[in-house]
Amino acid sequence: MAGRLISPTDYRLGLSVLLEGDSHTALGQANAAGYRQTTAQGFFEVANSLLGHPFNIAANLGVAGESAEQIAMRLSAALAYKADVVCLLAGQNQSTDAGTGQPTLATVTAATVIAMCEAHKANGSVVVLSTVFLRTSGSETDAEITRKSTINRLLKQYVATTRGVYLVDLAFALTDPATGYMYADASADTLHMNARGAMIAGRCYADVLAKIAPPPVIYPATARDWTNYSANPTMNGDNASGTNGFAFPAASGISGTGPDACQIIRRNTATVVASKVARTGSWRRDSKARMEITAAANYDAGYFYFGGIGNTLSAGRYDLTWNASATRVLGERRLPTTPNGFIYLCVKPGTSSNTEPTWPTTEGGTVVDGGTAIWLCQKMPAAGDVFFAEADLEFSALTAGKGMGALLILELYTTTLQPQYATALNFPTNGTYGVGSDFAPPLLHLKTPDLVIPTLTEPVRYLHASVRVFLEAGGSVTVDISRAAIMRKS
């Protein structure tokens, strides 16, 4: 199965993707506010997050309840977008043949989907199809199940012999073989995905989309994504000494090691053990950070900081000016002695030279300092810039009967600690512990609202984000952070 591979140049410019189909498509993107809380779907955004945001959504043309034939009637509007990639989910909803009054034959529905694919291919797009679910309501007849199975078989045959078309087998990934329905913890209604289902589907899409737009290479430094202000978004390294930036306060109750350029903090009387673990599964992108949290009192918590500018990993973090002959740790940022509107991220540790380097002034540019340390050029946050943070979390070993909740906070502070916040949380509004519909273990994708930098009258002191997991007294949980990012949108 072969298709067009997007070049790195195209990737950096951002690829357009069109979402086309029925209710699964309509729920594949963020809500109207532009961000996802934990109870929303948004499987495509999960995939985009795992891949490092190579895609910009041109439009979401999903319409709930539409059959493949109805979706095809809107094809001309879809073709007008001329998207790089089209994600087409069609064939789930049954239509009726106008001539016979009987359900449309599987061969006709499959042919309709294939015709749409061919039109998009001729329009210069790569197409990603999906299989349909066989059982959703409990009232399907054997004939209907056979019809949907035939649609899936015909689509698989088409993709296997056609260039420029890929297939995501959602039916296989989300169907419980014991019941024939979607896994109970992946759906609230046996058809539409909940937050956990969206995470699973997003990873399936990431697998396929990675063949079209490969995920960004985090190391070496020259391949860094300079719009990501997290120093280590895929949790590389397992740093015990602190030379690569992993840190936690010297306090009782905290132990272990963790990924480079990250920090663990405990709240109140919590016990937190930090570590880094290998990521498993076909969507593997290096590693995960882990916190094993035990609560002695209500609202004890473990905090995982992934730093932006001036985070607590940098010695002298309130004075970010470069200085000579200093040890540089992975993830710290420095300003030139003469400000130039850019800030520089250490992407390879070492020792600074006695002489200040000639700083690049193009984002993504790098410079060697002292023969070993390498700095990456990023734009200094300024008025009008838009940032958001997001994190992919996995939970296990939660103490039975004990409540917990998680939140993600993006913070910007100026010199006098005037704060700007953007928060994504999954606590109920009454402040009690979030369980059930307000929390979606074992998988969770959190994304903050946009944080628009206001007009500043004083310098930025720091910009950072943190995952915070709270527990009820006597509870414990293991939290894996598989990706954490602070992204600049403009």
**Given this model, what pLDDT does residue 113 score?**
95
Q: Is the pLDDT of residue 368 over 90?
A: yes
pLDDT of 466 reads 87
Residue 182 vs residue 119, higher pLDDT: 119
Instruction: Give, in order, the Cα–Cα distances in Å from 293 to each of 84, 272, 470.
Output: 44, 5, 9
Is residue 235's pLDDT more than 80? no
Which has more pLDDT, 224 or 110? 110
Mean pLDDT of the chain: 77
How far is 301 from 404, CA to CA, in rounded Å?
9
454, 442, 451, 467: which is closest to 390 by C-alpha?
Answer: 467
Query: Do 226-310+383-488 and 8-209 fall under one CATH topology?
Result: no
Structure-model confidence comparison of residues 427 and 417, the more confident one? 417
- Using pLDDT thresholds of 50, 70 and 90, give the confidence band for residue 96: low
Express each pLDDT in 158-210 by its tens digit.
999 999 999 999 999 889 888 888 888 788 788 888 767 877 888 889 889 88
- In this predicted structure, the answer to whether residue 211 has a pLDDT above a threshold of 60 is yes
351: region left, alpha or beta (phi > 0 left; psi from -120 to 50 alpha):
beta
Looking at the chain, the whole-number percentage of residues with pLDDT higher than 90 is 24
**The predicted structure's pLDDT at residue 243:** 56
Question: For residue 232, what are its two tokens?
Answer: 């280590």
pLDDT at 142: 87
Domain boundaries, the chain: 8-209, 226-310+383-488
- Which pLDDT does position 352 carry in this prediction? 92
**The pLDDT value given to residue 154:** 95
Which is more confidently placed, 366 or 252?
366
> Which range has the worst mean pLDDT, 12-21, 102-111, 146-155?
12-21
Q: Say which residue, 441 or 90, is predicted with more confidence.
A: 90
Taking the alpha carbons of 379, 380, 385, 386 in that order, is the dihedral positive or negative? positive
Cβ within 8 Å of residue 179, ≥6 positions away: 135
- The answer to whether residue 112 scores a pLDDT higher than 90 is yes
> Cα angle vertex 154, ends 146, 159, to 5°?
145
Sequence-ordered alpha helix ranges (H) in 337-481: none
What average pLDDT does the segment 423-442 reach? 38
**Which pLDDT band holds residue 379 (cuts at 50, 70, 90)?**
confident
| Structure confidence at residue 86 as a pLDDT band (50, 70, 90) | very high
Q: Which two three-digit tokens encode residue 1?
A: 């199965």
**Position 91, amino acid:** G
pLDDT confidence band for 239 (50 / 70 / 90): low
Nearest to 106, CA basis, from 63, 65, 61, 158: 158
pLDDT for residue 425 is more than 70: no
Q: What is the pLDDT of residue 152?
A: 94
For the chain, the first-to-last Cα distance in angstroms comes to 36
Spatial separation of the C-alpha atoms in residues 444 and 390, rounded to whole Å: 11
Q: Does the structural domain 8-209 have CATH classification 3.40.50.1110? A: yes
Q: With 70 as the cut, is the pLDDT of residue 234 above it? A: no
Do 52 and 86 contact (CB within 8 A), yes or no? Answer: no
| Separation between Cα atoms, residue 222 and residue 347, nearest integer Å | 9
Residue 37 predicted with pLDDT over 80: no
- In this predicted model, what pLDDT tens digit does every residue of 241-286 receive, in sequence order? 555 566 666 567 888 888 777 888 888 899 999 888 875 544 344 5
What predicted TM-score, i.e. pTM, was given to this entire model?
A: 0.58
Q: Is residue 151 within 8 Å of 105, Cβ to Cβ?
A: no
Show the tokens assigned to 18.
């069109």
Q: Residue 77 burial (CB < 10 Å; 0-12/13-18/19+)?
A: exposed
Distance of CA 350 to the CA centre of its chain: 31
CB 406 within 8 A of CB 469: yes
67 vs 402: which has the higher pLDDT:
67
Helix axes 142-160, 106-122, angle to 10 degrees: 30
pLDDT-based confidence at 317, cuts 50/70/90? very low
Q: Which is higher by pLDDT, 90 or 96?
A: 90
Q: Which CATH code fits 226-310+383-488? A: 2.60.120.260
Give the pLDDT of residue 80. Answer: 94
3-class SS shares of the chain: helix, strand, coil, % to 5: 20, 35, 50
Looking at per-residue confidence, does 66 or 393 come out higher? Answer: 66
79 has pLDDT over 50: yes
